Amino acid sequence: DAGVIQSPRHEVTEMGQEVTLRCKPISGHNSLFWYRQTMMRGLELLIYFNNNVPIDDSGMPEDRFSAKMPNASFSTLKIQPSEPRDSAVYFCASSPTGREQYFGPGTRLTVT
Amino acid sequence: KQEVTQIPAALSVPEGENLVLNCSFTDSAIYNLQWFRQDPGKGLTSLLLIQSSQREQTSGRLNASLDKSSGRSTLYIAASQPGDSATYLCAVDNNDMRFGAGTRLTVKP
């Protein structure tokens, strides 16, 4: 298995632009998580899905952030419009049980 | 709200030493606790998962213990190697994963 796949690995964009991050979970895993990691706040859970349904989005910082999971093999995290303070590493993780999690390599986002 | 604390924030040891990393949490009503390793610029790799009903888990040179009642977990690394150098994070799950800030470990040859 290739593990959790995230794209792009690096994204540099200008303030105000729309950013879309993509994640392909491990096949057969029914839970998917989006995290953000910054030096100041560490690793924070943004949202998680179970069987493609958003269960808890209380960690999503603002309405500028949205996440979708149209099917079991794909999820997106979108930021529109992006701001410099959104610069961070965004991780996607999947789980077969909702508990033990397997992380992707992350997307490093820089908003200038 | 669950708070997770890891001590020390950084640790530097000579190769071959046994070492212990600490993780404490404020809410003992957890489903499990997971230890991760993160290499610079990389994602997180799961090392050990301890269910709430378990006391410890072992994998190779790693041993993780869990004391739910006192809100503590330790990660023991035996015979450390330079390749163990990384940041180690613990995460507790009580319906919401909470991560500690991590311990940055450097093992010097």
Residue of B31, B39, B44 best to disrupt the A interface, most CBs of A under 10 A: B44
User: In chain B, what residues touch A101 (CB-CB under 8 Å)?
Assistant: 34, 46, 97
Query: Amino acid identity, residue B7?
Result: I
**In this structure, are residues B31 and A31 in contact, taking their beta carbons and an 8 Å threshold?**
no
Q: What residue in B sits closest to A98 (Cα-Cα)? A: B95
Q: Which two tokens stand for residue B67?
A: 């004391």
**A100 and B36 in contact by Cβ < 8 A?**
no
Residue whose C-alpha is closest to residue B64's, from B52, B76, B80? B76
Query: How does residue B2 score in pLDDT terms, banded at 50, 70 and 90?
Result: confident
Q: For B84, phi and psi rounded to 5 degrees?
A: -80, -10
For the segment A88-98, what is each residue's pLDDT rounded down to a tens digit? Answer: 999 999 998 76
For the segment A76-86, what is each residue's pLDDT rounded down to a tens digit? Answer: 999 999 999 99
